[in-house]
Amino acid sequence: MTSIVAFEALPHLGVRRTLWLQKLFPYDKFREDAVAQATSDPPWLSLPAEVATVIRPVVTDIVEAIIEGIPRDVPVYAMPMEGRFGQGVRQGVTVALNRFLDLPGTRLPALSEDGKWVYESLGRGEVRSGRSLESLLAAYRYGARVTFRAISRTVDVSQLAPDVLLSLGESLFAYIDELSAASAQGYAQEQSERAGEQQRLRGELLEMILRGDSSDGGVARLAAAVGWTLPEVVVVALVPFPHVEGLRAGLGPEGLVAERGTDVVIVYPFGSQPSRRRELDRALRGRPAIVGPARPWQQAGESLHLATSAGAHGVGTPEGGAGGVAPVWVEDHLAELVVHAEPLATAELARTRLAPLDGLRPAVRERLTETLLSWLRHQGQRAPIAEELFVHQQTVGYRVAQLKELFGEMLDDPEARFELELVLRAGHR
């Protein structure tokens, strides 16, 4: 009786078979032999075939006992065993018992191909029903306990040798392992397929938004189907392929992501709150991303166009810092984008406006153009110029004096100052 109780507990404990060998049979030599056998032949090889012969007539009773007890032992299944659910459970239990009774005295695998399909399907069904896999595995363990009790009542286990009794308990446990593995595989496959389909639909939604498809409500319907709240305003960002690892996880469910050419395109909800920019900054940090300006989602294609144009013209330089490379926001570089749109015209304007610097040594010219841009940007205020250039204010004064000598009245002309800043911001030196 002690052995029977111990074996009834084994499938429920969820421990490795070698561990229960050690607990039930503390004799080292016997344990070594048993473990060696467990790692070669299946445990049911040493079971007498008579066990199956005696049990088969009461299979129906065992199935009913399991069906009746599962809702009590596994609360999540506390529902009428009717309809497709009840049929599936009954089929699974019946197939499992009949297959187990085919195994004693053989080297057959635990599951046939058809049986494996049944238990993979049960695992898939748990995903579709929104349940965790643990509920199904708990039902398997309960079925193993009921089966062992039925065998102990039908077969005179007191007449069985210890090694046969051990094989019986181990066979049940090994069999439940195989059922569980098949269901886990089905569960994982269903999750993977669902994730792939969800990702495909989200990519389709992104493309519809970029096309501005808003006439028949298709965008709103697809957004609802994938559980994405359609925002009023979005930004579109580009990230080159070598830098996309972990991107979806960083963006979270709010970000729509799809591959386009050599880039990944992102559509991200964007309101007027500064927090939205900070959130996207954090998600994109460490990647050379370009973020287009905010637009109503129907005009998301414009945000993509400006981000693409900025990338093509090399507008904006990703800034490094303690957190790594930060994304370039096109809205901060619109003037640069404008001047880069006509590079020949900008170059001609640069030759005209920067002509006073011709003839200077390259190092001197570089220092003076750097100072001139800072002077234009800060409207001649020495303190911020010195801070930006990391020089003393007296040095700023000396360089500005040189510039005024070279450019003369040009620096007093608002139009000339605008054009000078334009070409310097475009990178001309």
Q: Please write the tens of the pLDDT for every residue from 316-331.
A: 765 544 445 789 999 9
**pLDDT score, position 80:** 66
Residue 226 pLDDT exceeds 70? yes
**pLDDT score, position 393:** 93
Task: Outline which parts of the chain fall under CATH 1.10.490.
Answer: 2-191
Helix (H/G/I), strand (E/B), else coil: 296: strand
Average pLDDT for 347-368 = 92
- pLDDT cut 90: percent of the chain above it: 36
**pLDDT score, position 8:** 37
Residue 9 pLDDT exceeds 70? no
Average pLDDT for 218-237 = 92
Q: Which two tokens stand for residue 221?
A: 């319907």
Helix (H/G/I), strand (E/B), else coil: 235: strand
CATH classification of 231-338, choosing from 3.40.220, 3.40.50, 3.40.30, 3.30.70? 3.30.70
Backbone angles phi, psi at 192, to 5 degrees: -65, -45
**pLDDT score, position 233:** 94
Of the candidates 361, 402, 396, which has an alpha carbon nearest to the alpha carbon of residue 382?
Answer: 396
pLDDT level of residue 158 (50, 70, 90 thresholds): low
Average pLDDT for 220-241 = 91
Cβ distance 53 to 101 under 8 Å? Answer: no
**pLDDT score, position 13:** 35
Between helices 17-24 and 162-211, what is the axis angle to 10°? 160
Average pLDDT for 237-251 = 86
Per-residue pLDDT reduced to its tens digit, 270-312: 977 778 888 999 899 888 899 999 999 999 999 999 999 888 8
Q: 55 CB contacts (<8 Å, ≥6 apart)?
A: 62, 101, 150, 151, 154, 155
**pLDDT score, position 14:** 37
Between helices 83-102 and 133-154, what is the axis angle to 10°? 50
For domain 2-191, is the CATH number 1.10.490? yes
**pLDDT score, position 50:** 80
Task: Outline which parts of the chain fall under CATH 3.30.70.
Answer: 231-338
386 to 273, 347, 364, 368: CA distances (angstroms): 34, 28, 17, 13
Of the candidates 288, 243, 250, which has an alpha carbon nearest to the alpha carbon of residue 268?
Answer: 250
Per-residue pLDDT reduced to its tens digit, 360-382: 999 999 999 999 999 999 999 99
Average pLDDT for 79-85 = 68
Q: Which two tokens stand for residue 94?
A: 């019946």
pLDDT level of residue 7 (50, 70, 90 thresholds): very low
**pLDDT score, position 20:** 37
In one-letter notation, the amino acid at residue 415 is: E
Which CATH number is associated with domain 342-425? 1.10.10.2840
Cβ distance 149 to 48 under 8 Å? Answer: no
Q: 40 CB contacts (<8 Å, ≥6 apart)?
A: none
Task: Outline which parts of the chain fall under CATH 1.10.10.2840.
Answer: 342-425
**pLDDT score, position 159:** 66
Average pLDDT for 385-389 = 92
**pLDDT score, position 381:** 93
Cβ distance 293 to 256 under 8 Å? Answer: no
pLDDT level of residue 198 (50, 70, 90 thresholds): confident
Between helices 83-102 and 113-128, what is the axis angle to 10°? 150
Of the candidates 73, 82, 179, 88, which has an alpha carbon nearest to the alpha carbon of residue 125?
Answer: 88
Q: Which of 15-24, 40-49, 274-283, 354-363 has the weakest average pLDDT?
A: 15-24
State CA 299 to chain mean position distance. 28
Q: In b/e form, how buried is each residue of 256-286, taking b as 16+ CB within 10 angstroms?
A: bbbeeeebbbbbbbbeeeeebbebbeebbbb
What sign has the CA pseudo-torsion 144, 148, 151, 157? positive
Dump the DSSP string for 328-369: EEGGGSHHHHHHHHSHHHHHHHHHHHTGGGTTS-HHHHHHHH
Cβ distance 222 to 201 under 8 Å? Answer: yes
Average pLDDT for 227-253 = 89
What's the mean pLDDT when you consider all of the chain?
A: 82
Residue 160 pLDDT exceeds 80? no
